[in-house]
Amino acid sequence: MAETAIEAKGLIKKYGDLVAVAGIDLEVHGGEIFGFLGPNGAGKSTTISMLCTLLTPTAGIARVAGIDVMHDPAAVRQRIGLVFQDPSLDDQLTARENLEFHAFIYSVPAPDRRRRIGEMLEMMQLTDRASSQVKTFSGGMKRRLEIARGMLHQPQILFLDEPTLGLDPQTRKSIWTHLNELRSKKGVTIFMTTHYMDEAEYCNRIAIIDQGQIAALGTPDELKAMVGGDVVTITSDQPEQAASEIKQMLGVTPSRDDGTLRMEVADGKAFVPRLVRELSAPVDTVTLRRPSLDDVFLKLTGRAIRDEEVSAKDRNRAMASRWMSRRR
Amino acid sequence: MSVETASKPIVSVPAAPVDTRSASLRAVYIIWYRDILRYWRDRWRLVASLAQPLLFLLVFGSGLSSSLGSAFGRGTGISYIQFMYPGIIGMSILFSAIFGAMSIVWDREFGFLKEVLVAPIDRWAVAIGKALGGTTQAMIQGLILLVLAPFVGVKLNLLTVMELVPLAAVLAFGLASFGVALASMMKSLQGFQVVMNFLMMPMFFLSGALFPLTNLPGWMTWLTRADPASYGIDPIRRVVLANSGLPHVDSLGLTINGQVLPIPLEAAIMLGFGAILLGVAVVMFQRRD
């Protein structure tokens, strides 16, 4: 891998007594897709904001593209592209006009402007809508336009804060296709936050962040290996009896969530027949699967990232943005 | 893929010079240009913003003109509607300048301001770009009203227009800077109504747009002289009416201690007001939030 793109040491952000980020160390290699994964309020956005020079750290150091974020924020900003969590386009202007505005304030040399704008529109498949006002765009198109805009001044690193938040699964997938294409064609390093576990699988490496600290860091496979083998879940009418039997006879301590028992075992294929044979408590269903990043998160934090809460929040957000655009 | 972290320490690249000064000048231009583009695109706003001045002139102006009759002009031969007409041009400039500049608050609300504030440019560029955008829009809004001159019995000639353009620019600049300064202190749209009712309307009423600023009660004389818009609207009226063959307009104008102020001095006061408030706005924007 190429040289280090981002380096943070002991990064802390406090708001009075509230500790939003409690000491983060990380190193992102040039050219990789690095995912910052965690539930809402874990400190993802605060960390990304410090790396992008939008927030001043309370303590610690961070270097982005080799430049200290405290020492020369303007130089950092010239070398990074940003896609914010909330929309930041002028929807009265056309796609091309939004890009032209960006090219101007980021000092893209005049002879390159047209060419780069054309190229980015092409890559993000927006060429045929270049002259439409942004207010006519769908959520996914707006996101693609923001990614195009973030790349216009040829940054070394592209930061994306929850780029797929509130988008439908199909659109999320297409955003990922575009990000992968950007990385392979432009060699840009991508640093992104997400709370969608399934998306983290697309990343080369992931840091799982919880309560302002990094709980684990590695490739998706490495993290999954932390779970140790396979995940077996059973549902039962008498979960307590089942749990104690499993503990006594099979030597595994399951975790319980209502009628569902969940356990991590080294060899799932051999474990399931034994389980069914030995258990006298009634078992309704048995599932065996490879560990997912959800399991990793659960193991590290003792909590699941609750998808229901997340989607309720997304709905609110989507509603709020619809309301805003109507008012405009 | 292995995760051996390249333990090579990062060499701090000596911060390659980012030429923020010329980037900021370009930013002033593009921020101004965006405002003009949006203004031009929003034709309905252009039409709608002509409705209010027309209503004032046709209904308010005609009504008062016929009820006051020749009693209004105190022997100057100026009818009320003629007196009011330059005031309405001033009103149009006042509202468009402040509203135009305050679109920053909308940009903040809808996220676009973030795109501007994170760019590697100096913050003063944002304040100045917005002030110039508001100035240009307001000038156009005010000068468009010159087409109504024949209907109110005011004769225009090239000289009048040439003198009016800089005076309209000065008034627009002063008030647009005022708008940017206000916007820099507002974090949401909530304070907007307050600004409208407690700052813009009083500024308009006290500016001499609707009635002569002479022979007023003492407290009101004081307030009208404290209103910066007075120093922008008075010269516009004097130029429009004097060039239209109504030379005694000065006796209905702005005086301090009974003295009529020279037009260049009035323009300088307006310009100074604008410069100070633009300075305030720049300082406010440079505070990192």
Task: Give residue A68's pLDDT.
Answer: 94
Window 9-38 of B, Cβ < 8 Å to A? 10-13, 15-16, 18-20, 22-23, 26-27, 29-30, 34, 37-38
Give the rounded percent of residues in chain A with a pLDDT score beyond 70: 91
Task: Give residue A326's pLDDT.
Answer: 45
Query: Is A307 domain-assigned?
Result: no
**Coil/strand/helix, residue B28:** helix
Window 215-274 of B, Cβ < 8 Å to A? none
Q: To the nearest whole angstrom, how far is the Cα of A2 from the nearest Cα of chain B?
A: 9
Task: Give residue A252's pLDDT.
Answer: 85
Q: To the nearest whole angstrom, how far is the Cα of A191 from the nearest Cα of chain B?
A: 16
**DSSP code, position A70:** T
b (16+ CB within 10 A) / e for B14-48 = eeeebebeebbebbbebbbbbbebbbeeeeeebee
Task: Give residue A97's pLDDT.
Answer: 96
Tell me, yes or no, if the pTM score tops 0.90: no
Q: How many CB pairs under 8 A join A and B?
A: 105
Residues A167 and A267 in one domain: no
Answer for the pair B251, B74: CB distance below 8 angstroms, yes or no.
yes
Q: Do A104 and B5 touch (CB under 8 A)?
A: no
Q: To the nearest whole angstrom, how far is the Cα of B195 from the nearest Cα of chain A?
A: 20
Answer for the pair B28, B132: CB distance below 8 angstroms, yes or no.
yes
Residue of B nearest to A75 (CA): B18
Task: Give residue A316's pLDDT.
Answer: 56
Task: Give residue B142's pLDDT.
Answer: 93
Query: How many C-beta neighbours within 10 Å does residue B202 have?
Result: 13
**Considering CB atoms only, which of A54, A92, A104 is closest to B26?**
A104
Residues A169 and A238 in one domain: no
Q: Which residues contact A235 (CB under 8 A, 6 or more apart)?
A: A259, A260, A261, A283, A284, A285
**Considering CB atoms only, which of B12, B18, B115 is closest to A78?**
B18
Residues A80 and A181 in one domain: yes
Query: Is A321 domain-assigned?
Result: no
Query: Is A301 domain-assigned?
Result: no
Domain count for chain A: 2
B chain contacts of residue A88, beta-carbon cutoff 8 Å: 111-112, 114-115
- For B122, the token pair is 């100096």
Q: How confident is the model at residue A318 (pLDDT cuts 50, 70, 90)?
A: low
Residues A283 and A157 in one domain: no
Q: How confident is the model at residue A270 (pLDDT cuts 50, 70, 90)?
A: confident
Query: What would the pLDDT profile of B175-215 be if each residue is shown by its tens digit?
Result: 999 999 999 888 778 887 788 788 999 999 999 999 988 88
State the angle between helix axes of B80-101 and B43-55 in degrees (0 to 180), rounded to the nearest 10. 150
Residue of B nearest to A87 (CA): B111
- For A16, the token pair is 């009075």
Residues A61 and A182 in one domain: yes
**Coil/strand/helix, residue A71:** coil
Query: Is A319 domain-assigned?
Result: no
Query: How many C-beta neighbours within 10 Å does residue A233 have?
Result: 16
Query: Is A310 domain-assigned?
Result: no
Per DSSP, the residues of B83-136 read HHHHHHHHHHHHHHHHHHHTHHHHHHHTSHHHHHHTSSS-THHHHHHHHHHHHH
Show which of A170, A200, A221 is a domain's final residue.
A221
Residues A62 and A165 in one domain: yes
Give the residue-averaged pLDDT of A273-289.
87
Residues A117 and A66 in one domain: yes
B chain contacts of residue A205, beta-carbon cutoff 8 Å: 1, 3
Q: Which residues contact A145 (CB under 8 A, 6 or more apart)?
A: A89, A95, A98, A99, A124, A126, A134, A137
Residues A152 and A271 in one domain: no
CB-based contact (8 Å) between B189 and chain A?
Answer: no
Query: Is A314 domain-assigned?
Result: no
Give the residue-averaged pLDDT of A226-240.
86
Domain that holds residue A46: 4-221
Per DSSP, the residues of A166-233 read T--HHHHHHHHHHHHHHHHHH--EEEEEE--HHHHTTSSEEEEEETTEEEEEE-HHHHHHTT-SEEEE
Domain of A173: which CATH number?
3.40.50.300
Residues A145 and A265 in one domain: no
Nearest to A311 by CA among A160, A165, A162: A165
Per 3-state DSSP, what percentage of chain A is helix, strand, and coil (rounded to 5)? Answer: 45, 25, 30
Residues A40 and A183 in one domain: yes
Q: Do B23 and A105 touch (CB under 8 A)?
A: yes
Q: Do A71 and B11 touch (CB under 8 A)?
A: no
Domain of A286: which CATH number?
3.30.70.920
Show which of A221, A237, A270 is a domain's final residue.
A221
- Residues β-bridged to residue A205: A34
CA B237, B243, B248: angle at the middle one, nearest 5?
65
Residues A139 and A247 in one domain: no
Residues A249 and A162 in one domain: no
Given a cut of 60, whether residue A218 has pLDDT beyond it is yes
Q: Do B12 and A63 touch (CB under 8 A)?
A: yes
Task: Give residue A94's pLDDT.
Answer: 96
- ipTM here: 0.85
- For A176, the token pair is 């990922």
**Considering CB atoms only, which of B15, B18, B34 is closest to A93?**
B34
CA distances from B4 to A29, A240, B8 (A): 11, 44, 11
Show which of A258, A274, A290 is a domain's final residue.
A290
- For B126, the token pair is 């944002």
Query: Is A278 domain-assigned?
Result: yes
Cα separation of B103 and B124, whole Å? 16
Query: Is A254 domain-assigned?
Result: yes
What stretches in chain B show pLDDT beneath 70? 1-18, 288-289
Query: What would the pLDDT profile of A30-88 be if each residue is shown by its tens digit?
Result: 999 999 988 878 888 899 999 999 889 999 999 999 999 999 888 999 999 999 988 89
Name the pairing type of β-strands A67-68 and A33-37: unpaired
Task: Give residue A306's pLDDT.
Answer: 52
Task: Give residue A314's pLDDT.
Answer: 53
Q: Do A88 and B114 touch (CB under 8 A)?
A: yes
